[in-house]
Structure 1
Amino acid sequence: MPLQWAAAALEMALTAATAPPVLGIAGVQGSGKSTLAAQLASLAGARGLRVAVLSLDDVYLSRQRRARLAADVHPLLQTRGPPGSHDLPLALEVISQLRAGAPTRLPRFDKLADDPWPLGQWPRIEGKVDLIVLEGWCLCVPAESQQALLEPINALEREEDGDGRWRQWCNQRLASDYPPLWQLVQPLICLQAPDFDVVPLWRWQQEQSLAANRPGRTPMTLAQIRRFVQFFERISRQGLRIWPSIADSTLALDDQRRPIPPLR
C-alpha cells in the first residue's frame, strides 16, 4: 500500500477525539487489510508509539460453538465468516482493556485448524497503547432490508438456504449485535476492490500463503475457496456499495491489488 496514504491515515487516527483511537480498515477478503495494518503499526512504531492490531478474523467462534449454532439455528452456521460467527463480547472486552491500559491478550485464530489458537499463544500487551487497529472484511457494514434478502444471490443461497432462514438470521445479527463494535471505529479507512469477482482468486492466494507458512497443513483447494467465499458474498457486496460513502478515506484497487487514484 502507498506509504504516503498509510501515513495520512495514521495522522488522521492520531487526531481522533477518543484515546486511544480505533482505526478501522475495511475491505473484502484478500484486499490487503492485514498488510496495511502491519504497515500502520510499523509507521507508528517508528515514532515511538505503541499499537495493538486486532482482526475480526481473530475473534471467530470455535468450531464447537459454531457446531451448536448449526444444530440449533441452521447447518450453514458451522462455517466461520458471516455475522453471528464472531465472539463480539470478546472483541469489545479486548478493546475496553486496551483503552484502560490493562494487561491484555490479543485473540488469534488459526484459519487452517479452523479454531482459535490456544490462549497461551495469544500475544500479550502490557500498559497503555497509543493506537488500536481493527481490520475486518465486514467492518461497519449495515444490515440489509428484508426486501433485499428475498432473492438468493448465489448457488449457496439457492441450494442450501432456499427459505432464506440462514441469511435472515445473519442479517439480524448484523443489525442488532454488531453496532456496539462499529461505533468504536473512528476513523474508518477502506481498501476498495473493483468488484466481488476478484475475491475467489484473492482468497485463494491468501490460502496459499497461509499454507506456505504452515508446512504439513492442507489448504483449501480453489474449488473449495469458490464455495467458501459465497458465505461472504452478500455482505461483501453490501460493503462494496456502502464503504465509499461512510469511510473517512478510501483507496481504490485494481484486480491485481494495485492502488489507483483514491475515490476521495
Structure 2
Amino acid sequence: FFKITFVLLDVNNCNDQAVLIVEKTPFPMDEQDWNTIVSQCSLETLSMNDIYSNHILFPPEKFSGIKTTLINPCTEKHIAKYRDQKRYVIYETPDDYKTITLPYLEEQQFTMKWIFNMLEHKAEMDRIIFEDADPENGFILAPDLKWDGKNLANLYVLAIIRRKGIKSIRDLTSNDLPLLENISKKSYIAIKEKYGIDKHQIRAYFHYQPTFYHLHVHFIHVSYDAPASSAHLLEDVINNIKLVPDYYQRSTLTFTMKENNSLLKSYRDTYQW
C-alpha cells in the first residue's frame, strides 16, 4: 500500500493518454478538526482483544479528499517516469558525463515551456511567493505541485533560476557562487516571512539527475519524508565549489535510473552490462 500512486488514463474520443497522480492528503493538525472527525466518523471494526481493537475509520467528507495532479496529454517520457520499474545505480565519471550523459541530453527534446511560462509571467503568477528579477542571479520561488500549500510539515517549494543554460549541478563552477548564495539567502528569508518556518527546519538540495534540466533547488520541511537518494544539499554544493572551483566537472556523481530509461540504455550499451 502506497501513500501515492500513478494511473495511466485513456482520454475519451481521442488517441491521447494522461497520467493521474493520486496522493493521500496529510492528516489535519488542528484539535477542532479532530473533534469533528472523531464525533462524525463511522467505524468498521476489524478485531478486538482486551484493551486493543483495530478499525477502519471513515472520516466526514470534508476530510476525505485526495490530492491529484493531471498531466494531459502525457508523453512517453511521462509514462516512463511514473511507471514502476527496477532501478540501477550509475557511477558517472566526468568522462561518462561528456561522452554519454551530455550527448543524450543534447539529443533529447525536454519541454521547458512550463518553466519559461512561469518565469515570463504567462502562467501560475499567483503561485509565485518570491521573485528576484536579476537576469544573471535571479530566480522565482513557488510551491511544488507535490505540496497542498496548507500543511506546513509537508512544505515543498522550488527555486527556479532565471538564467538559461545551466542544466544541473554538473554545470556549476565558482562563477555561479553569487547565484547559489543569492538563492540560499533570499529563499530562506522568503520562506520565513511567508510561512514562519526557520532556516534550521528547512532542507535545501538539488537532485542529480534532476527531473528537468533547468537548474532548480528543492526546499522542504525537515519533517517531510521526501525521497532524497539523489539529493545534493545546497550548502554542501556551495562549500564544495568554494574548496574546488570545478568540483562538479571533476567528480564522479552517483545516481539511480529506472530500467526503461533511455539514458540507462546508453550506459548499458557503452559498458556492455
TM-score of the alignment, normalized to the shorter chain, above 0.5: no
TM-score, reference length from structure 2 = 0.28
Greater fraction of residues in helix: 1
TM-score, reference length from structure 1 = 0.29
Query: Relative contact order: is structure 1 or structure 2 higher (C-alpha 8 Å, sep ≥ 6)?
Result: 1
Greater fraction of residues in strand: 2
Bigger radius of gyration: 2
